[in-house]
């Protein structure tokens, strides 16, 4: 079985999109792949309840319990590795990971970012796209590397920036596309590995 571990920090909407696609397309039976666990750094992350309702194992590794980023990442890696993942997915996981963590999962760690990378790495992407006068924005699924938001692009979706858009209205339209391309990118990851 090809195990997927998804890391979240909040609502878990991208995690749920992946898990629902996995169930709808019967990934476990047809493709030998499954979402084995959802892990959050926040016990109050709404996505944990969603994952439990979908029958997915959930765990919490609170970053607040550790004195350093390295100690937190080491504990998180230990918890992830218990599930023997072929793929680790960052789905709204709001922690910058250490180089050691990224290297441990090199080639099997992916993230989604709410911009058309390489544009607008980091935070506040929607407002930055509006402020720059962009006519389009979007989302990118990419391999995670030590350099923030700079890994190989696996999938992108383009969303128009409309007159009068706010960061929130643009974010809502981008998120709709994230929910489409992220499950496709996860599925494609395994198809490329065959």
Active-site residues: which are they?
113
Which residues does residue 141 pair with via DSSP β-bridges, in sequence order?
Answer: 112, 155
- E strand or H helix that includes residue 32: none
Q: Which residues contact 135 (CB under 8 A, 6 or more apart)?
A: 160, 161
Closest CA to 94 of 28, 45, 143: 45
The strand pair at 153-160 and 136-143 is best described as antiparallel
């Amino acid at each position: 079985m090809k195990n997927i571990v998804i890391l979240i920090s909040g609502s878990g909407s991208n995690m749920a999109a992946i898990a629902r696609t996995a169930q709808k397309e019967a990934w476990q039976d047809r493709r030998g792949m499954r979402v084995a666990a959802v892990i959050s750094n926040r016990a109050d992350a709404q996505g944990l309840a969603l994952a439990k309702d979908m029958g997915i194992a959930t765990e919490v590794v609170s970053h607040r319990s550790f004195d350093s980023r390295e100690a937190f990442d080491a504990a998180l890696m230990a918890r992830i590795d218990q599930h023997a993942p072929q793929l680790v997915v960052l789905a709204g996981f709001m922690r910058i990971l250490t180089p050691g963590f990224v290297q441990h999962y090199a080639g099997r760690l992916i993230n989604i970012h709410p911009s058309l990378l390489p544009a607008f790495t980091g935070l506040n992407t929607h407002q930055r796209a509006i402020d720059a006068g962009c006519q389009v924005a979007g989302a990118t699924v990419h391999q995670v590397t030590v350099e923030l938001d700079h890994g190989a692009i696996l999938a992108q979706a383009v969303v128009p920036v409309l007159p009068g858009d706010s960061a929130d209205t643009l974010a809502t339209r981008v998120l709709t596309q994230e929910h489409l391309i992220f499950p496709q990118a996860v599925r494609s990851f395994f198809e490329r590995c065959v």
